[in-house]
Amino acid sequence: MKKILSKFSLFLILQQLLNTLRQSLSMAFINGNFLGSYYWFLVRNYVSIFGNLAGSAKTKNTNLTFKLREDGFMELSKLSENGVASLIDFFLESQQEEYFSLQDYFDKQRVKNIVRSEEVDIFSNDDLRKSILSELNLLPIVSEFLGLPQNEILALGKIDALFKIKGERKLRKNYDDALEFHRDADSLRFVKVFIYLVDVNEGFGEHQIFVRSNKSLPWNLRTIGRYKYSTLKERLPFFELKKFVGKAGYSWIEDTTVFHRGTIPNSGDRLMLSLCFYDKKSAAHFHNESHHPL
């Protein structure tokens, strides 16, 4: 049985290598960005098969991120009420339509029957970026985990919502909104921070992860794709599902090479800030989004 599984895993990995090579070559010839295509191919395959290069780096002070490296996540201090309020204001002001309140926004958006909203970039606002990074004391943690100085890190900060819809779900651009279990492969070294901007209980689109799946992963789960809960429950050596619930301001840092997903809300709506930190060396060549230095 083990032999069949290992042959099957090898087949899946070879298939991924070929598919990503084909995509990478076509990107290179269409865009002329050969270096970007090379890094994209390298990141997708290296990270999915061997893991995040962050967290494995030998750093001087390893206590600060020990739990993050071991479990794949670590709780952070809570963002203040003022911090949450200023982010909600910025999010609402960035919308094309005018809304009286966040509840008004949720109620008007849910009728579209699309679960995930468009993202709002908040790191383009220097004051917001600086105040969040300093309030949560993120820079030493991120820098240690990535094993990089601040000038070699790119960051992205965005807010989006998950709505409790009432009708039949529609997809935006045929995208599944990352609401099935998956592992990220965004750059060679990366880490993400999540902050709830409303109270999130179970049924409010809570984020879920399989604890320690960043470290201990069978070969047949290493290729990029969406995986069912039942498949992971059966194949993961340590089965521990963590559901993130908490009041507005609750925040944590996560190595998103753990299996993770958002969930489709059935009780209430979610508004969340996601901060992504990437190594400049690989990400700068192929990411199209608007990144900011720290």
If the CB atoms of residues 136 and 258 are measured against Fe ion, the closer one turns out to be 258
Q: Cα–chain-centroid distance for residue 97? A: 27
In the 8-state DSSP scheme, what is residue 51?
A: -
Give the residue from 81, 53, 80, 76 showing the smallest Cα distance to 65.
76
CA-CA distance, 183 to 257, in Å (whole number)? Answer: 5
Contact 283, 187 (CB under 8 A): yes
If the CB atoms of residues 102 and 224 are measured against Fe ion, the closer one turns out to be 224
In the 8-state DSSP scheme, what is residue 246?
A: B
Query: Residue 256 Cβ, how far from Fe ion at the closest point, in Å?
Result: 5
Query: Residue 4 Cβ, how far from Fe ion at the closest point, in Å?
Result: 30
Neighbours of 176 (CB within 10 A): 13
Query: Residue 38 Cβ, how far from Fe ion at the closest point, in Å?
Result: 23
Contact 60, 35 (CB under 8 A): no
If the CB atoms of residues 79 and 209 are measured against Fe ion, the closer one turns out to be 209
Query: Residue 178 Cβ, how far from Fe ion at the closest point, in Å?
Result: 5
- Report which secondary-structure segment, H or E, holds 158: strand 153-162
Query: Residue 40 Cβ, how far from Fe ion at the closest point, in Å?
Result: 17
Helix axes 138-146, 126-135, angle to 10 degrees: 80
Query: Residue 2 Cβ, how far from Fe ion at the closest point, in Å?
Result: 30
State the number of binding residues for Fe ion (CB under 5 A). 2
If the CB atoms of residues 110 and 270 are measured against Fe ion, the closer one turns out to be 270
Closest residue to Fe ion in the complex (CB): 184
CA-CA distance, 102 to 140, in Å (whole number)? Answer: 33
Query: Residue 23 Cβ, how far from Fe ion at the closest point, in Å?
Result: 19
If the CB atoms of residues 57 and 178 are measured against Fe ion, the closer one turns out to be 178
If the CB atoms of residues 184 and 255 are measured against Fe ion, the closer one turns out to be 184
CA-CA distance, 145 to 62, in Å (whole number)? Answer: 8
If the CB atoms of residues 33 and 231 are measured against Fe ion, the closer one turns out to be 231
Contact 65, 144 (CB under 8 A): yes
The contact pattern for Fe ion, residues 173-212, with x = CB under 5 A and - = no contact, is: -----x-----x----------------------------
Q: Is 71 in the site for Fe ion (CB under 5 A)?
A: no
Give the residue from 205, 209, 206 showing the smallest Cα distance to 163.
205
Neighbours of 93 (CB within 10 A): 10
The contact pattern for Fe ion, residues 149-178, with x = CB under 5 A and - = no contact, is: -----------------------------x
Query: Residue 262 Cβ, how far from Fe ion at the closest point, in Å?
Result: 8
The contact pattern for Fe ion, residues 259-288, with x = CB under 5 A and - = no contact, is: ------------------------------
If the CB atoms of residues 78 and 261 are measured against Fe ion, the closer one turns out to be 261
Contact 192, 221 (CB under 8 A): no
Q: What is the dihedral of CA 225, 229, 231, 232, to 10 degrees?
A: 80
In the complex, the residues that contact Fe ion under the rule CB under 5 A are: 178, 184
